Amino acid sequence: MEKQIINTQDAPAPIGPYNQAVKAGNMLFVSGQIALHPETNQLVKENIMDETHQVMQNIKHILSAAHMDFSDVVKATIFITDMNNFSQVNEVYGKYFSGHFPARETVQVSALPKAVNVEISVIAAK
């Protein structure tokens, strides 16, 4: 099976030894995204909803670079540092899907890179 590296300038560059996504066969594995704005490289942290929206926009651009979209997402993992933010994160996240939602888990963690409040990774298939 051929492995293809997916990187786009429309999403933040990786901050460590990983790629934005890897495509293997018909599967796309998108690395966890945080609320880094790709043009300014600044964190979007005004509030949890804006932060989540930026994360989802980053994922959207990576999916697009692989000729996919949110309808192709089969699995998502959400990491949040405060479960009290769950409903707000869920509200923003839900707006990116129409009808058929992917499988998902949401996990509270003690800390995330760059002290962000939310990180989301997805797996897509086409």
Question: Domain spans of the chain?
Answer: 3-125
Per-residue pLDDT tens over the stretch 73-119: 999 999 999 999 999 999 999 999 998 899 999 999 999 999 999 99
Whether the CB-CB separation of 109 and 81 falls below 8 Å is answered with yes
* pLDDT tens digits for range 31-67: 999 999 999 999 999 999 999 999 999 999 999 999 9
Helix, coil or strand: residue 25: coil
Two structure tokens written together for 75: 């699995």
CATH of the domain spanning 3-125: 3.30.1330.40
Q: In angstroms, rounded to a whole number, what is the distance separating the alpha carbons of residues 30 and 55?
A: 12
pTM assigned to the model: 0.96
